[in-house]
Structure 1
Amino acid sequence: MSITQDNSDSVSRESPSIVDEPSSSGVLAKEYTLDIPRIPSLELPLHVSAEQSSIQKAVTMCGGIRKVKEAFREGGNVESQNGLELYLNEGKNPDGTSLFFNEHSITGKRVPFRDDSIILKITMPRGTMEKNRNNIQQSLASLDSKQYRVTPVGIVNNTIKFREMSDFQVRLDNVPSANEFKDSFETLDWSNFKKFVQSVPDNDSRPFENINNLILDRTSACPSTDFQLPPPPKLSMVGYPLLYKYKGNPLATKKSDGKAEVKAAYIKNYQLFLHTLDKDTKPPTEPHQLLQKDYNEAKRTGTYPGSKPDSKFYEYLEECITILKKLFEKRPIWIKRHIDGIIPKKIYHTLKIALALVSYRFSMGPWRNTYIKFGIDPRSSSEYAQYQTEYFKIERKLLQNPMVKKNIPEPPELCFQSNVPDGIDTRFKLDGTQVPWYLMLQIDLLVDEHNIREVYNQVEYLDKPNELTGWFKELDLVKMRRIVKYELGCMVQGNYEFNQYRLKYFKSMGFVKESMIPGQGGKEDADGDIDMEKEGTSNENKEASSDIEDDNGVATGEADDLALEDEEAENYDKVMVTAGGEEEENMQGEVDAGEDEGKPVFDVSEASFQEIMQHIAKFDPESALKLQRTLDGLVQETKLSEGL
């Protein structure tokens, strides 16, 4: 509910006006002056009617008209003002007396940088609103332009809104200790003060005995309680409600009773994981037993368990397995995002089941987030070092720059067409001329960049891999990471002219950190790092070494779970099969096997009115335009019966 107050004293000194655009006939619409009163608006979380008593009660709950005017007073920082306090119980007991401990108020704040809103007075024939169910838009559409009149009467240029949560309410007016306090301190009566102080025993050896022997007023309308302590000044931990961003199942439909129902079956893929790089852990050579059982059942019956015979799921699965076997013969370790561009669209929904039938995964270590062919152990030979993964991400300080965003390529759709037949799309590679599509990069996708290849060609592998650096020595990985972070940071900022002195320094680094350089004799800072700007440092390396710790706005390390969910959607281990037999799996593990495969499923339960209209417009623009003109918004399905 919005309450507006006429503030005639605040009138614009200028005389702007409203003029409509010329119509098709070339006749200008009527011109209105905006030299009209500026009106403040108070939006309350209450049901306030148009009756004067209701408005007066609402103002009283805000502390009275004087408090409201003070809150609207111009000047000062809007956000730093104390705001307007709203008390839901008006600070009174049912008998009219003031509460002992009043409830916690809700604070309303002025809206900063609010655009002015114009209040219009609309005059139309009597009974028009009733005929159109009090819908203003429909009422105007039913009338001729000569039958109604629209006049601006004010401008709302100052608004206070209440967005805080209402805290828990406390009433202690029937508690003996609260009444004693009210009768003494609140009345300021000396005799009551003295009586109250004398009632408190000195050095009470059994302080809880008095509480247990209290005689409470059982006739009070408010439930009695033994709680004898004043309540905390605030019970709620936060002032604003948390946004949990819960998402409903896009395939769930609501029944008339409000309950959700999902008409679909799910197929679990049983992907095998190894959770340690310990030498005693052997790589699996075959799929999970339950997955083999389902697959053998599909071979025998021709229908994969959980799918419909007419869905052809098993037929498509066999085709997908054939493609994957050829891919894993060429390359034993893959990132799924690279495979997405090779699998045909019509069989893509079977990919996760097919991957679980031909490969396993590590949940940690240098081959994390890859699919590895059954029987292949990347810890057995340094030839698998080229398939280790390195994850890079653009830091927030860069992403906040709109100039940087335009230099970062849009990621491909979930199912796309690779520009290399049966191979990894070239746009996934880092070659120094483009920002890769996907920043989870295997080592062999970096060597097209000549500076990284120079480092890679001089690598000496470890005798056995470790969990952090795999087969590489730490220094070699640091060199490659430094080059990638520097060049990637330059490219996202539109700079493709790299500093050769800095690249030369990265390639010639002798230590992982400058503080590890022995015998420098330089002055160490608080962190133990040695000042590289000293006598004896070569001129060409001074510039590079001075800001060697600068990551150029790019971070490296393991991909966090949120990044994986957004970029690869790997946290879901089930393939959904609809009741009609079509398999689909969207960006979170479900893809539509129809024409819109690869696009997020449109969720009507979470879409706004405008988003629904835009979705309808894709198929029937004329109907969407008509609906947008005649409808005001949306009504929840569960509330439809309330209006009947």
Structure 2
Amino acid sequence: MSHSPSPAPMLDGKKLAESHPMDIPHITAVELPLHVKNVNRAINALGGKKRISESINHGEPLELRLRNDPFHHPIQALTSNNERVLLKVTMSKKTIQKDEDGKLLLRELIKMNDADPSTPKTRIQPIAIIDKTFRFRAMADFQVITKNSPMVQQFNENVRHPKNFKSVANYVAQHGDMNGYMDLNSEYFKNKDHDLPPPPILSPIRFPFDYNYKMNRATTTIMDKQSGQKKVVSTKTALKLHTKIIDHTATPPSQPAPNLIQNREMIEKEQHQLPSLHPNSMLLKCIEWLETMFEIKPFWIRKHLMDLAPKEYQKYIKLALPYVTYIYRSGPWRFCNIKLGIDPRSDSKYWKYQSEYFRVLGVRNSSDPNSSSIKRITPPSLEHTLSPDFSQSENKLELAQNLFFDGTNLPTAVTYQVGDILDLDISSTIESHIKDMGKDFLRKTWDVQDGWLNATTMEVIRKIVRYKLKQLVNEEPIDQNKIYKIINAPREEAFASRTSKVGTTKSNDKNNIDNIKTDANIEGEGEEDEEEDEEEDEEDEELVRNEEEEEAELEGDEVHDMTLTEEMISRGEAPYGGTSGAMADRMVDGMNVDKTEEDEGDVDDVISRLNNLNGDAAQKIKHLVKIIKQDDIDYMNE
């Protein structure tokens, strides 16, 4: 249906453009990066009319394939929903023939046509509204020609275009050998044939860009005098700190590294000749200041020292600490700088200095610890350690409050010493446990995970801090009922354990079953805590490695993955210390699966069908099912 344009209106004696009705169809356009001569071939390159229709109506991806190859990497189309008007421009062929090279713009052709009195005027008419456009503007991916690949040609001939069923069966028989799969034979999994079909994509970069290479500012290019070749060298030399980093089983050092002792003796001899602001002079003053701090308190977190130190000493603390302290690589006092000669494993009084690290996203960037508006406090570990004649900030050592965890404000640090945690729930819990447990509050021998504190107290502290930190980061309220459950969970667990042992009647049996379920829930919570503790340990290892990189290359910890093998199944073992039967029972309970005769029939039916294909595999699966049901005890004991 055609619509004639309305007469052009006049404005101040000037003729305006004609107006056209927009009651026209809505269509979809496909912009091809091709000079299309054969429309049918262009449609086939897009996957055919059906594929184009699915892309328009159902949002399926539209791909442009320039080669008839199933392993060809097509160009993905980008979709634009911006509306445009499709115009039909009618002009004389005489004008069009003048543009032989096709270089003139449409606007220039219209002017040329209208300027020629021998040609009719150009007619412009809107015929459709384009409400969706598919554009192919991405770069084509790297292509792999597969015509010289025997494996690909066999696959195309026997699987994609088979002549008969026999050719498919022969191909599967040659490539479908499953011997060695069930018993995890390493020979079966060796990759000996590298003639494989190409991957779905080779380059993820879809659009071109300028690399704009810039040389590292910390490097320079020099000429090797011997070989005459250019090589890149670093302009910065890493400073070796000679920090004493020991394992939790090693004997703590009593003095710094020999290099540091010699360097200090040299500085002390020259200090009278050096200016007061000379780096060596400032380093010596910082060492003496640190010695004073570690006389007051033998365990410090470096971030606390940075906050406490005078400004002129702050950039020397990292260099001065190895003269006064050592560091544990792991254990309950990791991340603490410990005074040389002090062994925290020798006395249980050092439990207050144990450090705990909590990895919570959003804590580190919460605020600036050096801001003047932040309140400063004296932490509990310093309240009773200062002598009356000590002069530091008016006889007080005050640190930024946001370096400590108080349970109400978001801190800027994630490492806390147990004795300096200001949270009232934690401090009251510690006091309550000291009163209730008596001598059992502290261990007789220290533990690598919990130090001198008992496991129950440490578990409560970690859970409360972790929960409150997450709530503060997410700006959500803290549920005191949750805190109450965390604090009283050990008591409820002990009560449930005692209750499960009482009674022989049927009612008592029912209670025992409920208690067993309660114990299972508690065990599940413990597993979650162990996973979170493992995450913390991984982060701890990373932070300690950052410290170690400053002075030497250290060997990384080996991580051994535990795999459930057939040998372990036959022994009744499972990863993480359980039995395969118990593990399977927990899996079934967790999925709320009800065992019925119908289910057992289904399993038997599957095994019988599998037996027709592979008798050995069927027999192994049959034994495995019996192990899970705990029926085949003889097989487990073999």
Q: TM-score, normalised by structure 1?
A: 0.50
CA distance in 1, matches of 2:526, 2:153: 66
Paired residue for 1:348? 314
In structure 1, stretches of 5+ residues that fail to align are 1-31, 92-98, 120-152, 204-227, 242-246, 304-308, 400-404, 533-544, 576-644
CA distance in 1, matches of 2:520, 2:149: 72
2:411 partner amino acid: P
Paired residue for 1:385? 351
Within the alignment, does 1:483 sit opposite 2:464 as a pair? yes
1:72-111 correspondence runs (5 A): 73-76=55-58, 78=59, 81=60, 83-84=62-63, 86=65, 90-91=67-68, 103-106=71-74, 108=76, 110=78
1:625-644 correspondence runs (5 A): none
Which string of whole-angstrom CA distances, capped at 9 and with x for unpartnered residues, describes residues 98-120 of structure 1?
A: x7xx6442462656xx774999x
CA distance in 2, matches of 1:343, 1:118: 67
Shift of 1:363: 1.2
Question: Is the 1:486–1:551 Cα contact (8 Å) retained in structure 2?
Answer: no
> 1:317 aligns to what SS in structure 2?
helix
RMSD: 6.0
1:379 partner amino acid: R
Question: Is the 1:106–1:162 Cα contact (8 Å) retained in structure 2?
Answer: no
Question: Is the 1:117–1:157 Cα contact (8 Å) retained in structure 2?
Answer: yes
Percent pairwise identity: 18
Say if 1:290 and 1:260 are closer, same or farther in 2 by CA, change over 3 A: same
Equivalent in 390, 406, 429 of residue 404 of structure 2: 429
Question: Is the 2:286–2:317 Cα contact (8 Å) retained in structure 1?
Answer: yes
Say if 1:237 and 1:426 are closer, same or farther in 2 by CA, change over 3 A: same
Question: Is the 1:39–1:155 Cα contact (8 Å) retained in structure 2?
Answer: yes
1:287 partner amino acid: P
Equivalent in 338, 348, 359 of residue 372 of structure 1: 338
1:233 partner amino acid: P
Paired residue for 2:196? 232
Equivalent in 393, 396, 416 of residue 441 of structure 1: 416
Shift of 1:474: 0.8
Shift of 1:495: 5.3
1:285-300 correspondence runs (5 A): 285-296=254-265
1:379-528 correspondence runs (5 A): 379-394=345-360, 410-412=365-367, 419-420=376-377, 422-456=397-431, 458-459=433-434, 460-494=441-475, 498-499=479-480, 502-503=483-484, 506-507=487-488, 509-510=490-491, 516-517=497-498, 519=500, 522=511, 524=513
Paired residue for 2:536? 559
Question: Is the 2:446–2:452 Cα contact (8 Å) retained in structure 1?
Answer: yes
Moved more, 253-262 or 292-301: 253-262
Question: Is the 2:146–2:152 Cα contact (8 Å) retained in structure 1?
Answer: no
The total of aligned residue pairs comes to: 423
Paired residue for 1:63? 45
CA distance in 1, matches of 2:162, 2:482: 81
Say if 1:240 and 1:331 are closer, same or farther in 2 by CA, change over 3 A: farther
Moved more, 350-359 or 557-566: 557-566
1:317 partner amino acid: L
> 2:318 aligns to what SS in structure 1?
helix
Shift of 1:414: 8.2
Shift of 1:502: 4.9
Equivalent in 547, 550, 567 of residue 573 of structure 1: 550
Question: Is the 2:500–2:515 Cα contact (8 Å) retained in structure 1?
Answer: no
CA distance in 2, matches of 1:330, 1:154: 81
Paired residue for 2:296? 330
> 2:327 aligns to what SS in structure 1?
strand
Question: Is the 1:283–1:377 Cα contact (8 Å) retained in structure 2?
Answer: yes
Question: Is the 1:67–1:84 Cα contact (8 Å) retained in structure 2?
Answer: no
CA distance in 2, matches of 1:237, 1:506: 54
Shift of 1:386: 0.6
Say if 1:454 and 1:498 are closer, same or farther in 2 by CA, change over 3 A: same
1:171-210 correspondence runs (5 A): 171-173=146-148
> 2:55 aligns to what SS in structure 1?
coil
2:235 partner amino acid: K
Question: Is the 1:320–1:354 Cα contact (8 Å) retained in structure 2?
Answer: yes
CA distance in 1, matches of 2:432, 2:339: 26
| Greater helix fraction, Structure 1 or Structure 2 | 2
Shift of 1:499: 2.5
CA distance in 1, matches of 2:215, 2:280: 26
CA distance in 2, matches of 1:56, 1:414: 70
Paired residue for 1:8? none
CA distance in 1, matches of 2:153, 2:132: 46
CA distance in 1, matches of 2:476, 2:161: 75
Shift of 1:461: 0.8
Shift of 1:384: 0.8
Paired residue for 1:579? none
CA distance in 2, matches of 1:254, 1:68: 60
Q: Which has the higher contact order (CA 8 A, sep 6+)?
A: 1
Question: Is the 2:84–2:129 Cα contact (8 Å) retained in structure 1?
Answer: yes
2:63 partner amino acid: L
Paired residue for 2:285? 319
Question: Is the 1:84–1:107 Cα contact (8 Å) retained in structure 2?
Answer: yes
Within the alignment, does 1:272 sit opposite 2:244 as a pair? yes
CA distance in 2, matches of 1:320, 1:181: 74
CA distance in 1, matches of 2:525, 2:340: 42
Say if 1:158 and 1:185 are closer, same or farther in 2 by CA, change over 3 A: closer
CA distance in 1, matches of 2:46, 2:496: 67
Say if 1:61 and 1:34 are closer, same or farther in 2 by CA, change over 3 A: same
Question: Is the 1:387–1:444 Cα contact (8 Å) retained in structure 2?
Answer: yes
Say if 1:463 and 1:329 are closer, same or farther in 2 by CA, change over 3 A: same
Which string of whole-angstrom CA distances, capped at 9 and with x for unpartnered residues, describes residues 341-387 of structure 1?
A: 12344443332221222111111111112111111111111111011
> 1:286 aligns to what SS in structure 2?
coil
Question: Is the 1:475–1:511 Cα contact (8 Å) retained in structure 2?
Answer: no
Paired residue for 1:600? none
In structure 2, stretches of 5+ residues that fail to align are 1-18, 86-127, 175-191, 206-212, 223-228, 378-392, 435-440, 502-507, 553-638
Paired residue for 2:614? none
1:63 partner amino acid: A
Shift of 1:439: 2.5
> 2:316 aligns to what SS in structure 1?
helix
